[in-house]
Amino acid sequence: MKKRTFNVFMGIIVSMLLFSSCSKVPAGNVGIKFYLLGTSKGVDYEELTPGRYWIGINQELYKFPTFTQNYVWTADAEEGSPNDESFNFQDVQGLELNADIGVTYHLDPQKIDMIFQKYKRGIDEITDVFLRNMVRDALVERSSKLDVEYIYGEGRGELMDSVTYDVRAQCDEIGIMVDKIYWIGRIKLPVSVKDAIDAKIKATQVAQQRENELREAEAQAKKKIAEAQGDAESIRLRAEAQAEANLILSRSITPTLVEYMKAEKWNGELPYMTGGNVIPMIDLKK
């Protein structure tokens, strides 16, 4: 009888071990042991620090990494999920757009229990479902107020900044700290719309180039005019200076000065031959 009881007991122990497992909560993670049927204390989960734990048939272990996570939602089966997880959204006119988007985030270690209480899911499901839905809703809401040309061009960054702001407003209070939400590649448009926008952008660039060339030509012309005006002004100033110098010189020349200068130059000899009325170079009477 005792042997039979012992065998039954050992059978129960072995069965429990078979349906249980030893799981590890790695460093940089916070574990949540979830009791499927509750406990005698009425608590349905327990927060675990890094280490090894037995997880029974009535329990599930969720691991929440507290280091930075990066996830991409794309149409490419080689990135993120093998399924198409890209985002569809519309502009103000209802034009269908599509884009691949990535997110970088981390969990607040002090709020892991709050995150679990809210979602009762692991980090993968929270990312794939709840966080993705937040990004999608914010993108659809913000893009529906903008024109496709603005979204595709200069408004691309502003739109993503707005989406990031909206998602952070929802996530911060529950402990999901969104570091960055970003576009992956270009926004996808219908071919006809893309061709029209590209043609318009090219025409604008050509017009801008022509305008720049015209401005450069005008600048060169103004430079030459300025140089010519400078040369003319320089000549005028030199002429005025020369005229003024001549005037001063003419005013300074008197008959007495002329006679003095003649005397300075004369060597004292008279011409050997003269004819007619010769005016002496120097008036010897003076």
Where is the domain boundary, 164, 189, 214? Answer: 189
pLDDT digits 0-9 by tens, 42-83: 557 888 888 898 887 878 889 999 999 999 999 998 887 889
| SS3 assignment, position 71 | strand
In the prediction, which pLDDT does 11 show? Answer: 46
Domain presence at residue 214: no
Tell me: do 56 and 76 sit in the same domain.
Answer: no
- Give dist(CA 279, CA 283) in Å, integer: 9
Encode pLDDT of 122-178 as tens digits.
999 999 999 999 999 999 999 999 999 899 888 999 999 999 999 999 999 999 999
Give the mean pLDDT of 12-24: 56
Structure token pair of residue 135 = 């990004």
Query: With 50 as the cut, is the pLDDT of residue 17 above it?
Result: no
Q: Is 109 a domain residue?
A: yes
35 with 95, same domain: the answer is: no
Are residues 91 and 147 part of one domain? yes
Between CA 28 and CA 106 the distance in angstroms is 11
Token pair for 191: 């071919």
Identify the bridge partners of residue 87 per DSSP, sorted by sequence position: 99
Decide which of 189, 211, 232 is a domain's last residue.
Answer: 189
Q: Exposed, middle or buried, 64 (CB in 10 Å: 0-12/13-18/19+)?
A: buried
Q: Which two tokens stand for residue 177?
A: 């700290």
Give the pLDDT score at 180.
96
Sort 34 into a burial class: Cβ within 10 Å, 0-12 / 13-18 / 19+. Answer: middle
Residue 282's SS3 state is coil
212 falls within a domain: no
Report the pLDDT value the prediction gives residue 18, as an integer from 0 to 100: 44
Range name among 5-14, 240-249, 275-284 with the lowest pLDDT average: 5-14
The verdict on pTM exceeding 0.75 is no
179 and 81 in a single domain? The answer is: yes
pLDDT at 56: 79
Structural domain contains residue 269:
no
Computed on alpha carbons and rounded to an integer, the radius of gyration of the chain in Å comes to 48
Please check whether residue 201 lies inside any domain of the structure: no
Residue 193 confidence (pLDDT)? 65
Q: Which of 46, 177, 48, 61 is CA-nearest to residue 108?
A: 177
Q: How many C-beta atoms lie closer than 10 Å to residue 3's C-beta? A: 7
Q: List, for residues 178-222, the tens digit of each pLDDT value.
A: 999 999 999 998 776 666 566 666 656 666 777 777 787 788 878
Identify the domain boundary among 120, 155, 189. 189
Q: How far apart are CA 109 and CA 249, in angstroms?
A: 98
The pLDDT, as a whole number, for residue 241 is: 82
Q: What is the mean pLDDT of residues 231-256?
A: 78
Residue range of the domain that includes 50: 2-63
How many structural domains is the chain composed of?
2
Residue 66: its pLDDT value, please?
92
Question: Is 16 a residue whose pLDDT tops 70?
Answer: no
Looking at residue 286, its pLDDT comes to 53
pLDDT tens column, 253-280: 677 766 766 777 766 666 665 555 555 5
